[in-house]
Amino acid sequence: MDGRKVVNTTCLFIGGKRSISFDFGRTSWIEQGLWKGGNLMKRFSVCLLLVLSLFLTNSLAAAGSLEADNPVGKVCKDTIQLGGKTVPLPNGEWRVIAAGSDNEGFFHIYLLKEHGEQRFSYTYIKVGLPTQQRRHGYDLSKQLNRVDMLYVVEHVNIQEGAQDGWWINHFSPNFLSDKKSPIAIEAGKYIASNNYIVPNLMVLASHRLVGHKDKNKFLTVLYAYNLETEGFAQAQNSDWASSDWHVTKINQDPKKVEFIERLKTEHTALHEKIRAGFGDLFPFRR
């Protein structure tokens, strides 16, 4: 015996089993004894390492494919396909201004719609990558439990389970200060370099879905409306709590109320389209 350690083992991969041979080279008699004693464990470890390597490779490939399919400058109309999900877009042309994946298994994309005079609205989408694996699903959506927003629809909100709902809120956009999101910063750089005017205040309608059977399936779609392009004067106060758009103050302005009512109607229908493109829905809803 020349002390060489050659192992034939079988690992179970997606799509079937594969037999793999490993030649570990010449070993000492001590190493040979350890190998014989822990042969089963070593085979298991080798298979585990290969599966993890394959998972990482597939994750990077999925993220890379989404980025390659959605380069900056791409123009979308009506819908956009992301990770096997069809996401509807409001009327008009939507240009990709930033896109990329993070290290937690999500793909992020920002799309901008021009309104003339350097005004814009935007859509932000966050989707779980197909190869993401979570042991315990997602926490409850805190947004779906809030009572201080302009409107909230909570169909399902299960801890580590299915989630299905949407909400309307006002906010102050500030892309470049979001240091936790490199993709948001890239979107902010695009907006700044093209001399777009960032409004003091915007109104969003945000939709959230988490799979019923597949706990890794995740989708957030946020549509941000530029109030100046909707016929409102530029907001002078960007503070959320004291804003005229706060839920406790908005009833003082019938025009604002009418606009929010319009968004309720539009996004009730839009949410159904998002749900249809998502699939894997909870069988019951409020």
Which residues have CB under 8 Å from 221's CB, separation 6+?
87, 123, 124, 125, 206, 207, 274
pLDDT for the residue numbered 83: 78
What per-residue string of b and e applies to 87-96 under the rule 16 or more CB within 10 Å gives b?
bbbeeeebbb
**Statement: the pTM of the whole predicted model exceeds 0.85:** no
pLDDT in tens, the chain (286 residues): 455 444 444 444 334 444 444 444 554 444 454 445 555 454 444 433 443 343 444 444 445 689 999 999 999 999 999 978 899 999 999 999 999 999 888 999 999 999 999 999 999 999 998 766 677 789 999 999 999 999 999 999 999 999 999 999 999 999 887 677 899 999 999 999 999 999 999 999 999 999 988 888 899 999 999 999 999 999 988 899 999 999 999 999 999 999 999 999 999 999 999 999 998 787 766 6
The residue type found at 121 is: S
Which residues have CB under 8 Å from 109's CB, separation 6+?
66, 70, 80, 82, 96, 98, 99, 124, 125, 183
**DSSP string for residues in 4-23:** EEEEEEEEEETTEEEEEEEE
Q: How far apart are CA 24 and CA 32, in angstroms?
A: 11
Helix (H) or strand (E) holding 1: none
Residue 188 has what DSSP assignment?
H
* Residue 136 exposed, middle or buried by CB count within 10 Å (0-12, 13-18, 19+): exposed
Give me the residue label for tokens 């909870």: 282
| 3-state class (DSSP) for residue 54 | helix
**263 token code pair:** 């968004």
Contact 218, 162 (CB under 8 A): no
Closest CA to 263 of 170, 142, 146, 126: 170
